[in-house]
Chain A
Amino acid sequence: MREVAVVAFAQTRHTGHDEGLTEPELIAPIIREVKEVSGLSRFGFTCSGSCDYLAGAPFSFVSALDALGAWPPISESHVEMDAAWALYEAWVRLQHGDVDTALVYGFGKSSLGDLREIMTLQLDPYYLAPLGLDQVSSAALQASALGADPAALREIVRRSRADGRANPYALDLPDPGDEEFEVQPLRPSDVAPLTDGAAAVVLAAGDLARELAERPAWIAGIAHRTEPHYLGMRDLARSASAADAARAAGVGKGPVEVAELHTQFSHEELILREALGIPPDAVVNPSGGPLAANPVMATGLIRIGEAARRILDGRAGRVVGHASSGPCLQQNLVTVLEA
């Protein structure tokens, strides 16, 4: 495998409301920032992750290219998924060996529509979508199947929100108070907040990465796995796909100092810690994680970026970034980064 590293990461100061920016306006500053940090103005490959249903406009991701400078023509691709999968595509592209750098970015404005119902559109159109099964309801079914301890969930929310308050890019959310159920057994604070935001990562290969960054965050392993879509055909209390991806990425081959997990619901942290084999002494979601800021379609990329940042700035030597897609953690991507 060709050595590939994260050499730059930037994210917006995420907001819980619409700042009135278009998507190109949202991403332009962070594209500028990663160009400055990496010193690169052109990239061998560019790949983005977004979802047209968030804006309700087909091919809305194309207009985002206005923020990049796409002339002379660039080599570009897009995934209709979280940008963590765009990073995976860029990593694969760099394995070809003919290009050495890649720009990856993702963005999402949940403020424009009703995210819970937009997410219903990702469900199979025959059996699930016609029931109007919304995202929080399916997550509540998973929390119920897990039999999650309410006190453990509350502590996850409290810790995530406290860490988020210390993170200038995350939202300022209070400690969880007394709340009615949103969909029992989940309460509103168990659900990631509606968030607008974006993030960008620069990947570089081999010696170029060593030139561009003092401490590149090398991708030691990256893998993603999926499992059946239909919720009644899997064991919701476990994440077999996350466990498989973690094995393939080699999470257990060394210590894990920090794990950034794509937990859009508090109970998912319990499932993912187990599936990924995160040791009890590892720091989980020191950024606050998605429970403190969830710019959909950038959230998974931010997990990789936040994990990489701890290597880039010298605070950690081996970290894990995780991203998820689909209902109830259907698909999971695990990245192991090392100094």
Chain B
Amino acid sequence: MPSDPGERVAEHVLEFPGGYTRTTGPVIGRFLTELREGRVVGVRTAEGRVLVPPLEYDPATGEPVTGEYVPVGPAGTVQAWAWVGTPRKAHPLDRPFAWALVKLDGADTALLHAVDAAGPKAMRPGLRVRPRWKPEGERVGHVTDIACFVPEVTTMAAPIRTEYRVRPGQSLARFLRGVGDGVFVAGRCARCDKVYVPYRTTCPECGSTIDEERELPGTGTVTTFAINNLPDPRAPEVPFVSAYIQLDGADVPMIALLGDVPAHQARQGMRVRAVWVPPEERTASMTDIRWFAPTGEPDADL
């Protein structure tokens, strides 16, 4: 059965094959000729202003412009911008970009063009940009001979990497031997009556030599914590929680990871217990403590 004629749709294209040939006139022609050479010029008005792109008549006065062409830019300053997240077929770039009004150095008016920037956060009024030219052989004297503008260089990557060989020292070595055995070794200053963990050989308060070792239980209380959103080699999955944990019997907290609990449930006063890696996997290093996990006891008063 034939379809309802009222519902039929005809595809119709309006196109002038090959496009119109437009004469440029001397003013626009000069601008496009300079573009082909990789230069940007403006034209000076009778009042002394520099129009970029050049027009034949001064829009402010209607007077013909002078014959003086002024090199401008190539750098310029963004005055206003709009971000195109999904470029259209006719747009100059096929990836997200900004439209911008760019006041080229030496010009009194702004040129409208595309800016190839990393994202809308990279755009702002005042941003300095420069043209990215099409290669010389591909320039034909057209506004798109400037493929787009790109931000000027204001930052650079500066990688730094130096390598060291570090030994733990006597105090920490003693502590780590304990960790390898699944215990926390602390030191007690007899003069201050304070217990320090990790173990240390001098008291940070009074400077006395610490002689007394103590083994602390693996339980303690969270005194404060931080939710980390940047991955760390020791905690590759984010967010992770690092916490100060005051072991029962210690007078100072120790920093460790908090685990087996969603980040948003971490809280001060939370009772926790050390979770050890199995003895056969231990290396007498801090990674032997997998993390601290909630014991389920009521929170402690701090």
Contacts and interface: CB of A to CB of B under 8 A. Distances in A.
Interface of A: 20, 53, 56-57, 116-117, 120, 125-128, 130-134, 137-138, 140-145, 180-181, 183-186, 227-228, 230-234, 236
Tell me what chain B mostly uses at the interface: helix, strand, loop, or mixed. Answer: mixed
A231 B51 CA distance: 12
A134 B85 contact: no
Interface residues of B, number: 42
B112 A130 contact: no
B14 interface: yes
A201 B51 CA distance: 42
Interface string B1-26: 00000110000111000001010100
29 contacts: A20-B6, A56-B14, A125-B22, A126-B28, A126-B32, A126-B53, A127-B143, A130-B144, A131-B112, A131-B143, A131-B144, A132-B92, A134-B90, A134-B91, A141-B80, A141-B82, A144-B81, A144-B82, A181-B83, A183-B84, A184-B82, A227-B59, A228-B59, A230-B53, A230-B109, A230-B112, A232-B52, A233-B55, A234-B59
A159 B90 CA distance: 34
Contacts of B13: 56
Given A230-B109, A230-B112, 17 more contacts: A20-B6, A56-B12, A56-B14, A57-B14, A127-B143, A137-B99, A141-B100, A144-B82, A184-B83, A184-B85, A186-B82, A231-B101, A232-B101, A232-B109, A232-B111, A233-B51, A233-B55
Contacts of B20: 125
A185 B143 contact: no
Interface string B87-108: 0111110000001111100000
A134 B83 contact: no
Nearest to A20: B6
A51 to B, nearest CB: 12
Contacts, number: 108
B101 A145 contact: yes
B28 A143 contact: no
Nearest to B84: A183
Given A20-B6, A20-B7, A132 B90 contact: yes
Contact of B143 (A126, A134, A141): A126
Contacts of B84: 137, 183-184
A240 to B, nearest CB: 11
A20 B5 CA distance: 10
Contacts of A234: 59
B120 interface: yes
Contacts of B55: 230, 233
Contacts of A120: 90
Contacts of B66: none
A181 B32 CA distance: 34
Interface string B52-88: 1101000100000000000000000001111111001
B88 A132 contact: yes
B284 to A, nearest CB: 53
Listed from nearest, the 5 A-B pairs whose CB atoms lie closest are A132-B90, A232-B110, A140-B82, A228-B59, A184-B83
B191 interface: no
Contacts of B142: 130
Contacts of B112: 127-128, 131, 133, 141, 230-232
Given A56-B14, A233-B59, A141 B99 contact: yes
Interface string B109-149: 11111100000100000000000000000000011100000
Nearest to B83: A184
Nearest to B13: A56
Contacts of B32: 126
B85 A131 contact: no
Contacts of B81: 141, 144
Contact of A184 (B6, B7, B89, B120): B120
Interface string B22-56: 10100010001000000000000000000111010
Contacts of B52: 232
Contacts of B82: 137, 140-141, 143-144, 183-186
B79 A145 contact: yes
Given A137-B99, A184-B83, A131 B22 contact: no
Contacts of A116: 88
A253 B109 CA distance: 35
Contacts of B101: 141, 145, 231-232, 236
Given A230-B59, A233-B51, A183 B144 contact: no
B109 A181 contact: no
Interface string B178-217: 0000000000000000000000000000000000000000
A57 B10 CA distance: 14
A144 B143 contact: no
Contacts of B28: 126-127
Given A56-B12, A127-B112, A145-B101, A183 B59 contact: no
A302 to B, nearest CB: 27
A230 B113 CA distance: 12
Q: Which of B59, B112, B114 has the most CB of A within 10 A?
A: B112
Nearest to A126: B28
Nearest to B107: A232
